[in-house]
Amino acid sequence: MSQTAIRARNTAADPLPAASAVEVKGLALTYGQNAILRQIDLALPPGHIQALLGPSGCGKTTLLRIVAGLLEPTQGTVRIQGAVVADAATGLFVPPERRGLGMVFQDYALWPHLTIGGNVAFPLEMRGIPAHERRARVAKALALVGLAGFEARSPASLSGGQQQRVAIARAIVAEPQLVLFDEPLSNLDKELRDQLSMELAALVRDLGLTALYVTHDQGEAFAMADSVAIMRGGRIVQNAAPEDLVAAPADAGVAEFLNLGPVFKAVRREGRWRLADADLALDPPSADIAGEEAGVLLARRALALAAPGAGVCEGRVVQAVFRGDHYLVTVQLAPPPQADAPAPVELAIVSEQRVRAGERVGVNILPERLRWFAGAAVPH
């Protein structure tokens, strides 16, 4: 087929970037007067693992449920594999069972009266797959999640982690292109969660699935996802690879939510930027910032301890906590001479060397790792 013919066909049917496995555009949801989601745009290329991360109530689950077809948007469209499955303007709405996706929920949602085999086979039955093929595919899906031979067991006889593996097998057994995960590991203890999140990421990648993964656990999102959308108040405030979020958080709120370090108020005095509440001049931001006040993130990755007198500023160790392979050292900086009674500025610094509370230390700052935010409205 010629390029012109392909273009003509796409335009006539539904102008869609063929590259997206799922695409959400201009999505909004309101309950009465309450805006739960506002202007959400998101496009996932095939094979992409996208996490939705944010505090409780920010709208993660609501967004996932709209993609799943469990909720209808008030505004905007959802496309899966190029086909429109929800469009608020026309009222078009494709029910969940016809969206060709798998889902894994926090509470496993296994049917207690069915065996493990019966649970995993259910999506295949819904699709009218014959019994002998169902058996083979169920066996394969169970083997993929490490539960080969569990067909005849009942859900009640399995541990929480095993039950969630069954739910994962059920979500992938019909080989959907898109799998939606809603906090799938949050009922499990930390050790199991860490292990299963790695296994899950490997499984999703090996099968070439596209995944949308809701979590409020930053470690889980960073370990699993190609990109992480940080949500706040019904919006996506930043969507980027984990490394990019850490290196360049979009605003002070993202920096604080990701626990990268404190954002302090900086003021421009006599042409130099200084911390407002400490005796510390900073190298200027690479791009000039308008105004006389700004926020500056002093992330742990931008700071290093130095010998007294050898750093760009001096401080006193408040505490040093051993974290297994490093110390996390809290250093209180000296206040600026002209301040009345400022809140002391405390920095968290990673150190390989042991230091003791009360010790005087120097602090070095890597200027290229400082992150500046324009405007005076900063949390500190």
Count of Cβ atoms closer than 10 Å to residue 206 Cβ: 9
Interaction residues for ligand ATP, span 55-74 (CB under 6 A) = 56-62
Angle ∠(80,84,89) on CA atoms, nearest 5: 140
- Block residue for tokens 């400490």: 278
- Could you tell me the sign of the dihedral formed by the alpha carbons of 45, 51, 55, 58, in that order? positive
Nearer to ligand ATP, 31 or 322 (CB): 31
Minimum distance of ligand ATP from residue 220's CB (angstroms): 13
What gap in Å lies between CA 311 and CA 329, rounded to an integer? 16
Nearer to ligand ATP, 76 or 261 (CB): 76
* Interface region with ligand ATP, contact rule CB under 6 A, candidates 52-60, 116-124, 148-156, 283-291: 52-60
Nearer to ligand ATP, 20 or 106 (CB): 106
Interaction residues for ligand ATP, span 206-235 (CB under 6 A) = 216
Minimum distance of ligand ATP from residue 61's CB (angstroms): 3
Residue 268 binds ligand ATP (CB under 6 A): no
What gap in Å lies between CA 98 and CA 102, rounded to an integer? 11
Nearer to ligand ATP, 60 or 137 (CB): 60
Find the helix or strand (DSSP H, E) in which 298 lies: none
Angle ∠(22,27,31) on CA atoms, nearest 5: 130
Residue 36 binds ligand ATP (CB under 6 A): yes
Minimum distance of ligand ATP from residue 238's CB (angstroms): 16
* Interface region with ligand ATP, contact rule CB under 6 A, candidates 1-9, 28-36, 296-304, 341-349: 28-36
Residue 54 binds ligand ATP (CB under 6 A): yes
Burial class (CB in 10 A: 0-12, 13-18, 19+), 270: exposed
What gap in Å lies between CA 40 and CA 66, rounded to an integer? 11
Residue 33 binds ligand ATP (CB under 6 A): no
In this structure, what token pair is assigned to residue 97?
């069972």
Minimum distance of ligand ATP from residue 352's CB (angstroms): 36
Chain residues in the site for ligand ATP (CB under 6 A): 31, 34, 36, 54, 56-62, 216
